[in-house]
């Protein structure tokens, strides 16, 4: 796995995937983008797989994009925009969406165990799971507007089946931090548990004990029947490619880093 950013263990048909950058609250750098995608792709072909638990090492699930990585994107904007609007071969998602959408596309259920924070990219990664079990003190946020961006890691595929459009827009526009009880009420998380990783493991074992055909069929049925799909991933990418690196987006980043109000044009 890329620089050990992600670890995978498999036992009795249950895979446990752990984001392994605890010193940075598992924030996404370019190595993490690759590692999470590679983990999902590997499990897509894993024989005998029945369920997946997705978790983060250390004090939080995932704090979002590493600010240093966001700054590095500014040095290659033209190439970055081209990557954003170019889907992966044979897929609807691009390299930045794939780390989140790959979990929704797995044929088996994926259970995210959330603790600490799930911000920005971490929130969208959690949305890629089929079930989200959160500790009562978990904090969640669709945070991209703080950096002058839109959420573009598969949110248009992953969120519409969970909550109303106006509630989603509220979270996207305000970038406010949502405490776990409110996240439960909104549909961002499935249920709360004092020990979400233990609860996720128990759920995965219970799922693994069911008929594999019924489990896979149930996931396919729900993913196909509920709103949210591949149709708008290209729109998500096109909008972000136009925004990223623009003067106001750069000002949003600089203001955030300098802890001052932004001065937009």
Site of tokens 């990557």: 83
> pLDDT digit string (tens) for 12-67?
999 999 999 999 999 999 999 999 999 999 999 999 999 999 999 999 999 999 98
Residue 71 confidence (pLDDT):
80
Query: Quick one: pLDDT band at residue 3, thresholds 50, 70, 90?
Result: low
When mean pLDDT is compared across 10-14, 174-178, 184-188, 254-258, the lowest value belongs to: 254-258
DSSP H helices, the chain, are 30-44, 67-73, 77-84, 98-105, 121-128, 155-158, 165-174, 180-186, 196-208, 212-225, 233-243, 247-258
Q: Is the pLDDT of residue 1 over 70?
A: no
209 versus 71: the higher-pLDDT residue is 209
When mean pLDDT is compared across 71-85, 98-112, 171-185, the lowest value belongs to: 71-85
CATH numbers and ranges of domains, the chain: 2-195+211-258 (3.90.226.10)
Residue 68 confidence (pLDDT):
87
């Amino acid at each position: 796995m890329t620089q050990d950013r992600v670890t995978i263990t498999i036992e009795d048909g249950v895979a446990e995937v752990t984001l392994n950058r605890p010193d940075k609250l598992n924030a996404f750098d370019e190595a993490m983008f690759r590692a999470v995608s590679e983990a999902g792709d590997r499990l897509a072909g894993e024989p005998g797989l029945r369920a997946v638990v997705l978790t983060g090492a250390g004090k939080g699930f995932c704090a979002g994009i590493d600010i240093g990585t966001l700054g590095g994107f500014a040095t290659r904007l033209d190439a970055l925009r081209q990557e954003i609007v170019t889907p992966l071969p044979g897929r609807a998602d691009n390299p930045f969406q794939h780390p989140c959408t790959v979990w929704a596309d797995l044929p088996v259920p994926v259970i995210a165990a959330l603790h600490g924070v799930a911000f920005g990219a971490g929130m969208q990664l959690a949305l890629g799971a089929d079930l989200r079990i959160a500790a009562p003190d978990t904090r969640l946020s669709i945070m991209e507007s703080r950096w002058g961006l839109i959420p573009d890691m598969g949110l248009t595929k992953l969120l519409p089946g969970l909550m109303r459009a106006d509630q989603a827009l509220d979270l996207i526009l305000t970038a406010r931090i949502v405490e776990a009880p409110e996240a439960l009420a909104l549909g961002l998380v499935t249920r709360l548990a004092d020990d979400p990783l233990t609860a996720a493991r128990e759920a995965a074992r219970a799922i693994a004990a069911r008929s594999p055909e019924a489990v896979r069929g149930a996931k396919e049925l729900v993913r196909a029947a509920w709103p949210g799909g591949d149709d708008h991933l290209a729109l998500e990418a096109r909008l972000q490619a136009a925004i990223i690196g623009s003067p106001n987006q750069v000002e949003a980043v600089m203001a955030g880093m300098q802890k001052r109000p932004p001065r937009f044009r």
